Amino acid sequence: MLHRQLRSALEEIFGEDFIDEALRNSEQAQLVIYEQRQRFKETVLGFQRLNYRDEQSAYAAGLERQFGYALICSLLHNPTREFVAELGLNYL
């Protein structure tokens, strides 16, 4: 149930098409996470600190596509979540 609620919230912020596109590009997301860990970390932490939907939507609109994919996959795609954990990126 929690996964469905999270996905629904992310669809409101990023749009359903973007979520589907991100999940189809999970390999690219994992590559971004691996090669640019610090920027990925900054992306996640920046998103986590926002409390209001309009702030989150504005943040999402300003993200580079590849970092949006990485953020979405780190939250919704189990293999990417496991990959993030294997890398020791515990801030998620």
* Domain membership flag for residue 40: yes
Count of domains forming the chain: 1
Residues whose CB is less than 8 angstroms from the CB of residue 7 and which lie 6 or more positions away in sequence, other chains included: 19, 76
39, part of any domain: yes
pTM over 0.75, yes/no: yes
**Rg value, the chain, Cα:** 12
Q: Is residue 92 part of a domain?
A: no
Is residue 8 in some structural domain? yes
Q: Which residues contact 60 (CB under 8 A, 6 or more apart)?
A: 13, 14, 47, 68
Q: Is residue 79 part of a domain?
A: yes
54: domain range? 2-86
Q: Answer whether residue 91 is part of any domain.
A: no
For every one of its 92 residues, what pLDDT tens digit does the chain have, with 9 covering 90 and above? Answer: 578 999 999 999 999 999 999 999 999 999 999 999 999 999 999 999 999 999 999 999 999 999 999 999 999 999 999 999 999 886 65
